[in-house]
């Protein structure tokens, strides 16, 4: 039985590259909380067993990464937050005193908090989301709740973007006027915030978004992060985006929301983000 010290972990496959143990240990020392947070490798076909074993042995919370966010959604399907329901994916699991496993998705709020940290509060802004995969889906409701005036989703496969819009408007019809969807070429007008939620940057590409127009003060945000500006960030700068950022702040931001769910305190992200950026640059 794990009992003496509070145990948390990030579960995925692969997992050795994960920055979550560093981030959560840094938050814990900042907040004076004693905990162990470890990487947990699970076979691709055995998520539920590994997650259940972790909780059976006394573990209190799990972060969930690729490829298990939908499995985690299934595991916690009877006890999901609204954000997790809409995202259809879970990245934060915890067990309550009666042994019930709950699930939430902290990616979207992590993104919104990072935009605010960068000086781009989505409130009253025109926001363009490029990409319609799991990460984009998880961010829609938090962006709308943050008060953007327009949220347009464009995707290589336009039907996938349209499905996101119809799923969300079914759940929250009050947002139907702000939401729209289209193909990668359908992005009329100038944008305040453009978010690249495609995985194109992972292969050093940018989505084929021709003729994108930015307002004078505008942000191009890539969910992918690395040691250098992504192709999307570079192209956006050339097209007039006054600011560019990568997704390292979102990574730290979503971890902060998970930490708050588990420990009831929202840690400060900036010092941890600065340390992580230094580590990335040094490697
Ligand atoms: P998915 O596989 O669910 O979705 C991938 C998306 O990228 C789809 O919209 C797909 O379009 C699009 N896409 C892929 N390649 C291209 C391309 N060459 N040109 C145009 N569109 C392309 O991935 P996720 O949504 O889970 O993740 C998206 C990205 O966000 C990943 O790179 C991930 O690393 C990052 N991420 C970062 C986080 C952070 O904390 N910083 C958190 C979560 C994700 P189509 O539908 O047409 O196939």
Q: Whose CA is nearest to atom 4 of ligand 1?
A: 133
Q: What per-residue confidence (pLDDT) applies to 117?
A: 97
Q: What pTM value is reported for the model? A: 0.96
Q: Which of the 8 DSSP states describes residue 1?
A: -
Cα dihedral: 111, 116, 255, 73 (round 10): -40
> CB atoms < 10 A from the CB of 4, how many?
9
Per-residue pLDDT at 4: 75
Supply the residues annotated as catalytic.
Answer: 69
What does each C-alpha distance from 78 to 89, 93, 104, 135, 229 come to in angstroms?
13, 12, 12, 22, 41
Residues in the chain where the model's pLDDT stays below 70: 1-3
Q: How far is the CA of 135 from the centre of ligand 1 (A)?
A: 7
- Of ligand 1's listed atoms, the one at least distance from the Cα of 107 is 42
pLDDT tens, 235-261? 999 999 999 999 999 999 999 999 999
Q: CB within 6 Å of ligand 1 — which residues?
A: 107, 131-136, 155-157, 160, 197-200, 202, 205, 207, 223-225, 247, 250-251, 254
Model pLDDT, residue 169: 95
Q: How far is CA 83 from CA 22, 102, 225, 240, in A?
A: 25, 12, 24, 33
Q: What is the 133 CA–ligand 1 centroid distance (Å)? A: 6
């Amino acid at each position: 039985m794990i009992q003496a010290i509070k145990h948390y972990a990030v579960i995925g496959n692969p997992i050795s590259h994960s920055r979550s143990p560093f981030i959560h240990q840094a938050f814990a020392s900042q907040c004076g909380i004693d905990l162990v947070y470890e990487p947990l490798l699970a076979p691709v076909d055995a998520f539920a067993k590994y997650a259940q074993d972790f909780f059976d042995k006394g573990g209190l919370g799990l972060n969930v990464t690729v490829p298990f966010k939908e499995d985690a959604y299934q595991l916690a399907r009877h006890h999901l937050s609204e954000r997790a329901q809409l995202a259809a994916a879970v990245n934060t699991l915890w067990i309550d005193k009666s042994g019930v496993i709950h699930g939430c998705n902290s990616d979207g709020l992590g993104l919104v908090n990072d935009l605010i940290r960068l000086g781009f509060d989505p409130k009253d802004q025109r926001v363009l989301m490029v990409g319609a995969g799991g990460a984009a889906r998880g961010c829609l409701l938090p962006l709308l709740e943050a008060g953007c005036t327009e949220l347009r989703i464009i995707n290589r496969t336009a039907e996938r973007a349209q499905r996101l819009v119809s799923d969300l408007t079914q759940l929250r019809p009050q947002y139907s006027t702000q939401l729209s969807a289209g193909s990668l070429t359908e992005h009329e007008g100038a944008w305040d915030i453009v978010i690249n939620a495609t995985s194109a940057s992972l292969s050093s590409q940018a989505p084929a978004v021709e003729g994108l127009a930015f307002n004078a003060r505008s942000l191009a945000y890539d969910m992918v992060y690395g040691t250098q500006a992504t192709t999307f960030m570079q192209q956006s700068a050339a097209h007039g985006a006054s600011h560019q950022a990568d997704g390292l702040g979102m990574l730290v931001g979503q971890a902060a929301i998970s930490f708050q769910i588990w420990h009831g305190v929202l840690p400060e992200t900036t010092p941890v983000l600065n340390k992580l950026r230094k580590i990335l640059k040094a490697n």
